[in-house]
Amino acid sequence: MAERTEVVFVDGVRTPFGRAGEKGMYWNTRADDLVVKAITALMERNPTVPGERIDDVAIAATTQSGDQGLTLGRTAALLAGLPVSVPGFAIDRMCAGAMTSVTTMGAAIGFGAYDLAIAGGVEHMGRHPMGSGVDPNPRFLSERLVSEDALNMGSTAERIHDRFPAYTKDRSDRYALRSQQKVAAAYEAGKIQPDLVSVATRSEQGWGLATRDEAPRPETTLEGLAALKTPFRPHGRITAGNASGLNDGATACLLASGATAKELGLSVKMKLVSFAFAGVEPEVMGLGPVPSTEKALRKAGLSITDIGLFELNEAFAVQVISFLDHFGIDDEDPRVNEYGGAIAIGHPLASSGVRLMNQLASQFADHPEVRYGLTAMCVGLGQGGTVIWENPHFNKKAAKR
């Protein structure tokens, strides 16, 4: 059998993430236009890539209807001005949509079928609330395959608190506060802005320009978090402050074979090492990244101690805490979510996987002492996804300091 082709992450971009709903900055913006903007910017940032050399475009969305329907990868590619010869398709793995776009395209490159591909995702939760228009098979409930509220992500997070009493609300709130603080510090240091694509917006007040994420609340305090309501059950532990919000946004990234990147003179921000997805009980879907990470590490021949940077999607603080506890990592470990996460930035479902990758790639450049990092996230219906990456800037001398 031929050796696997090297797969590299060349570049990634995203729109600023907006708050979903009528008061959000993207209320009058189409979902497909958000992802078209991301693809267009990605190609403009990499002018040595001939459009006709793109082998495929994979774009994810959780709710594939309306302006998020019609085979997004193909329609977005055409709208972004890629040649008609470039094919495309749509993907749905709920929260891990963009992550699955990347692993699917990465696998095609690794197999040798593709040289260049675009992968990403979009979610306009203002136009398409999670679960809208779906008709779950009644056998899920009648045959007790899942509990009645397994599709309510907040309820699944409350169950993790139930299962692990050490995961207190105060601990979740403290984690959430640090996320807000880290995002504010990352913006102040100019770490997030380089991968943001400005988007024209329209409201009753006229035209505007979205240049940064709408959701962060740098003024957050522990006292304020403690006072928030618990919407998923009386006297619960999940609040709007220790969970990601409802958001709109899009992401896109360029993947290539190592040889093609070299041929076209492209920068290499990360190298794909391994990936894995795993299933868990839908009722505690937040535990999903634990088995997917164990599986990805096993496939890579690595252990958790080899990982020097973690980008974990903060669907809920308790979900991240469960991952950290399982692997013996402290809640305040500096290797984890250096720039903060979805609790502050937002989580437009199918787009978030590439945001994690963008942030890890930026951190790799700043940490030549780190060889491996990972991106991981929980997924609705009881799944987890993990991708392990290698730092092309790794320096053995720096690692020994």
The one catalytic residue among 128, 161, 347, 367: 347
Q: Is 253 a catalytic residue?
A: no
Catalytic residue chosen out of the listed positions 95, 124, 161, 253:
95
Q: For strands 247-257 and 18-19, give the pairing.
A: antiparallel
Q: Is 95 a catalytic residue?
A: yes
Helices (H), 112-168: 139-142, 153-163
347 is catalytic: yes
Instruction: Say if residues 325 and 163 touch (Cβ distance below 8 Å).
Output: no
CA distance 224 to 220: 7
Report phi then psi at 156, rounded to 5. -65, -35
C-alpha distances in Å from residue 52, one per residue of 77, 115, 119, 266, 277 = 11, 11, 16, 16, 32
- Rounded to whole angstroms, how far apart are CA atoms 115 and 129? 36
The answer to whether the Cα torsion of 202, 206, 211, 213 is positive or negative is negative
Q: List C-alpha distances in Å: 47 to 15, 43, 179, 266.
A: 19, 6, 35, 10
Neighbouring-strand partners of residue 378:
384
Catalytic residue from among 128, 161, 367, 378:
378
Enter the DSSP assignment of 349.
Answer: G
Known catalytic residues are: 95, 347, 378
